[in-house]
Amino acid sequence: MKRTYMILLFPFCLLLLSFSLSIGAPAENPTAGAKEGFIGAETCKECHETQYGSYAESIHFKKSVKGPESQDACESCHGSGARHVEKGGGRGVDIFAFGKDVDPDAKSAKCLACHERTPGMDLWAMGVHRRNDVSCDSCHTLHAAGRQKPREPDVCFGCHKDIKIETNKRSHHPIREGKIKCSSCHSPHGSLSRYMVNADDSRELCFRCHADKRGPAVWEHPPVEEDCQSCHAVHGSSHMKLLNERIPQLCQNCHDWSRHPGTPYDKSASFTSRWDCLRCHPAIHGSNSPHAEGLRFVR
Ligand code: HEC
Ligand code: HEC
Ligand code: HEC
Ligand code: HEC
Ligand code: HEC
Ligand code: HEC
Ligand code: HEC
Ligand code: HEC
Ligand code: HEC
Ligand code: HEC
């Protein structure tokens, strides 16, 4: 008798549970069918032909788990539209919009309902962007034909004007030229590394594309082993090869060369050529010469 009671009660509990879950998060569960209060994209189309059209061109429309005929295509992001339509529509009338005054986390939550498991998104919550009130729609445009990945670097430049100036300098990483993107080096969704670089640290980042600089060299130049940025800027510089300063100043930050061969009165080197340190020390990142002169990065 007791067992039958339990067996009967169990499915009832499940039913209760799923009912309370669906109330708690009506618009958030993408795998459920047409939802309570959802009236479907065709109704929205009557008044929002433009947005319907742009959305229909998007990868979301084409690839959405629900497919093009989805009952809740619009409402998966905008929430239930029943009352909005009842009242004849309008701005601020019972519909979730991605306006500037809307809480950024509330906006992102709409997207995370489906994108929580997109690779890398687990770091969104602690990322610098989220903590500075940047939301998904700050970078992604959802009503646009084709793909919804942001146009880099333009989207980033919108907020990072200082970086834009850097990348316009004489020597720069080929970002403007489209050879690499901001996201080749950064994880805009968040990262555990400093400045959200997508490597353990900035030196490891450099090696991903400049593996020849990794070494180990027979004769090492200590700053190269420590931090590439002791000599190089990352985004851009007015000096050649992304150098922080011009040569010889760059070298003289660290080197007192009073004992250096080739003083102005020495025949072995003219005064002017002395300033061209690289002419005699070309192996500046370290030398693999079998000879002791490698010690001076002469070859
Ligand atoms: C994947 C999420 C998503 C879906 C699905 C979606 N939208 Fe949007 N919608 C947005 C975002 C984000 C904005 C803010 C502007 C932008 O990013 O383009 C927006 C803006 C709007 C606006 C306001 C435009 C303005 O002038 O302020 C309307 C109207 C709209 N959407 C209607 C629709 C309709 C109709 C559908 C279905 C055909 C739809 N949306 C589907 C995310 C979505
Ligand atoms: C009866 C016509 C009508 C229908 C149907 C309708 N809307 Fe609207 N909606 C409007 C009007 C009018 C506005 C104000 C537009 C403006 O001022 O440019 C509006 C504004 C919006 C906005 C912007 C709100 C804001 O605060 O900025 C969104 C988002 C939106 N509608 C989504 C939807 C969605 C999703 C559907 C379908 C579920 C839908 N609408 C159905 C008439 C309608
Ligand atoms: C600071 C700008 C920025 C913000 C904010 C942002 N994204 Fe992105 N997102 C990007 C860029 C850039 C890419 C393209 C990266 C690439 O090409 O590898 C991208 C790619 C994606 C992709 C495609 C991933 C893939 O592997 O193909 C998804 C999905 C996505 N973002 C969702 C989101 C969601 C959800 C949010 C909010 C929680 C968000 N994004 C916030 C810049 C941003
Ligand atoms: C109803 C579920 C759902 C919602 C809500 C949703 N997405 Fe998506 N999104 C998808 C699916 C499904 C794909 C296709 C995934 C794939 O290609 O693997 C996708 C793809 C993307 C992509 C990659 C597009 C590309 O060019 O490859 C981006 C970026 C993206 N979504 C951003 C967003 C943002 C930002 C929001 C919130 C405004 C959002 N999504 C809301 C389901 C959703
Ligand atoms: C070649 C790799 C690389 C590329 C490409 C790159 N960055 Fe960076 N970025 C870095 C590194 C490394 C740092 C850390 C610099 C430091 O330690 O001072 C950084 C720092 C930053 C910072 C914070 C520090 C500062 O200087 O304000 C911002 C913001 C930034 N990058 C934005 C961008 C944007 C926007 C783009 C695309 C236009 C971009 N980055 C492209 C490697 C890169
Ligand atoms: C809506 C504005 C906005 C957009 C668009 C934007 N960012 Fe940011 N970003 C910020 C803010 C705000 C901060 C935090 C304050 C700061 O460091 O400037 C930030 C910080 C950063 C940082 C530094 C992180 C740190 O640790 O200091 C990097 C790197 C960065 N953004 C890269 C990008 C890239 C790459 C893009 C384009 C894919 C992008 N941002 C687009 C607003 C934006
Ligand atoms: C995503 C790949 C990538 C990463 C990561 C990267 N670089 Fe580069 N780097 C490039 C490309 C591409 C060029 C241009 C090469 C060319 O035009 O032949 C370049 C050029 C350079 C140059 C020469 C610039 C000039 O004016 O000729 C220097 C110096 C440099 N990178 C340093 C660094 C440093 C330091 C790091 C780490 C903070 C780094 N790079 C990370 C791709 C990368
Ligand atoms: C002691 C200063 C210094 C340090 C530290 C340094 N570099 Fe350089 N780097 C230079 C100089 C000087 C040049 C210009 C060499 C030339 O034109 O012959 C250069 C040129 C480059 C170039 C472009 C030419 C080439 O050889 O491919 C790249 C790429 C580069 N460095 C990457 C790196 C990376 C990666 C690191 C960190 C592992 C690093 N550098 C650390 C001084 C330095
Ligand atoms: C951030 C500091 C720093 C910068 C910048 C720097 N060096 Fe060095 N360099 C060192 C250190 C540390 C050593 C190791 C020898 C020492 O302790 O004196 C060294 C060693 C050398 C040596 C070998 C000398 C010896 O005694 O073994 C030469 C040659 C050299 N550097 C040339 C240069 C040139 C040329 C530049 C400019 C392109 C330069 N360095 C920039 C820190 C630096
Ligand atoms: C004409 C060629 C030449 C030029 C130009 C030159 N060097 Fe040297 N440098 C040498 C030679 C050769 C040695 C090795 C001397 C020795 O082994 O006694 C040396 C040694 C050094 C040493 C190690 C000696 C010491 O004091 O411990 C440093 C550091 C150094 N050079 C830095 C520089 C810097 C910085 C510049 C540019 C301002 C520069 N050199 C320009 C040829 C040159």
39 in contact with ligand 2, CB cutoff 6 A: yes
Tell me which ligand sits closest to the C-alpha of residue 84: 2
Ligand 6 proximity of 138 Cβ (cutoff 6 Å) = yes
Q: Which residue has the higher pLDDT, 61 or 205?
A: 205
**Contact (Cβ atoms closer than 8 angstroms) between residue 176 and residue 236:** no
- Residue 189 has a CB neighbour count (10 Å cut-off) of 21
- What is the C-alpha separation between 253 and 50, in angstroms, rounded? 60
Calculate the CA dihedral of residues 15, 96, 39, 90 and round it to 10 degrees: 150
- How far apart are alpha carbons 135 and 97 in whole angstroms? 13
Q: Is the CB of 167 under 6 A from ligand 5?
A: yes
CB 124 within 8 Å of CB 189: yes
CB of 196 closer than 6 angstroms to any ligand 6 atom: yes
Rounded CA separation 191/127 (Å): 6
* Overall average pLDDT of the 225-239 stretch: 97
Residues in the chain: 299
Cα 138 to averaged position of ligand 3 atoms, centre (Å): 10
Residue 35 — very low, low, confident or very high, per pLDDT cuts 50/70/90? low
Q: Which ligand is nearest to the CA of 104?
A: 3
pLDDT for 18:
40
Which atom of ligand 8 approaches the CA of 250 most closely? 2
User: What pLDDT does 33 receive?
Assistant: 46
* Pocket probe mutation, ligand 5, options 187, 195, 196, 226, max atoms within 8 Å of Cβ: 195
Tell the residue number behind the tokens 């034909």, with chain if given. Answer: 145
Pocket lining for ligand 1, CB < 6 angstroms: 41, 44, 48, 51-52, 55, 60, 73-74, 76-78, 97-98, 137, 141-143
**How far apart, in whole angstroms, are the C-alpha atoms of residue 152 and residue 216?**
35
Residue 135 pLDDT greater than 50, yes or no = yes
Q: What is the mean pLDDT of residues 272-276?
A: 63
Q: Return the ligand number nearest the Cα of 112.
A: 3
CA of 210 to the centre of ligand 5 (A): 17
Which residue's CA lies nearest to atom 12 of ligand 2?
Answer: 90
Q: Is residue 199 predicted with pLDDT exceeding 80?
A: yes
Region for 72 from its dihedrals, namely left if φ exceeds 0, alpha if ψ lies in -120 to 50, beta otherwise = alpha
pLDDT in tens, 148-176: 789 999 999 999 999 999 999 999 999 99
